[in-house]
Amino acid sequence: PEPSKEDLIAINRKRIDKLHVSLRISSGDKKISLKEELVRTSAQTAQLQAEVYEQEIKDKIKSAKSKVEDHISELSNAAHTLAHNLSSGEVEELLSELSLSKAWNEGIEASTLDSASAYTSKMTGIAGNLNKAADKIVEIDQQGAQIFEKS
């Protein structure tokens, strides 16, 4: 099976630690390739963390909303159970307050989901910039190598 995003994050963090150690003791071409790998691994990790964060927010909202719906259902069932002691008008009055629209703020839900999505988009942009930086590291290294070849 393919590793989960959380697994990949953990793998990447260990790899980043190893890259830092290797960078301290390396030089020349090896150091440049390690820097590139470090930047790309960091970019991937940032992207994965943002995706995991957004999914966690979505899951928590879904779970909370489900719990609210379950409580509404339980209260509605309880009201119907007590209905034999109340008039139909009293039961309807009790049940009129038991709706998801009154117990759940769709605006806050949408705003929270939008914020999580915006965070993921921003992190995607940062990851893209990090990958451009890694490309620049390689480009500068290649230009430097050409200078030495001409000498």
Tell me the DSSP string of 15-69. HHHHHHHHHHH--HHHHHHHHHHHHHHHHHHHHHHHHHHHHHHHHHHHHHHHHHH
pLDDT at 82: 74
Please check the confidence at residue 68 and state whether its pLDDT lies above 80. Answer: yes
Residue 150: predicted pLDDT: 67
Q: Does 13 score more than 90 pLDDT? A: yes
Report, as an integer, the average pLDDT of 16-32: 92
When pLDDT is averaged across residues 87-109 and rounded to a whole number, the result is 84
Enter the tokens of residue 32.
């440049």
Q: What is the band of 12 on the pLDDT scale with cuts at 50, 70, 90?
A: very high
113 burial class (0-12, 13-18, 19+ CB within 10 angstroms)?
Answer: middle
Q: Does pTM top 0.85 for this prediction?
A: no
Q: List, for residues 39-60, the tens digit of each pLDDT value.
A: 999 999 999 999 999 999 999 9
* Overall average pLDDT of the 83-111 stretch: 84
Residue-level pLDDT at 102:
86
- Kindly tell me if the per-residue pLDDT of 67 is higher than 70: yes
> What letter represents residue 14's amino acid?
K
Say yes or no to pLDDT of 128 above 70.
yes
Q: Residue 94: is its pLDDT beyond 70?
A: yes
In the numeric block, which tokens belong to residue 147?
Answer: 């200078």
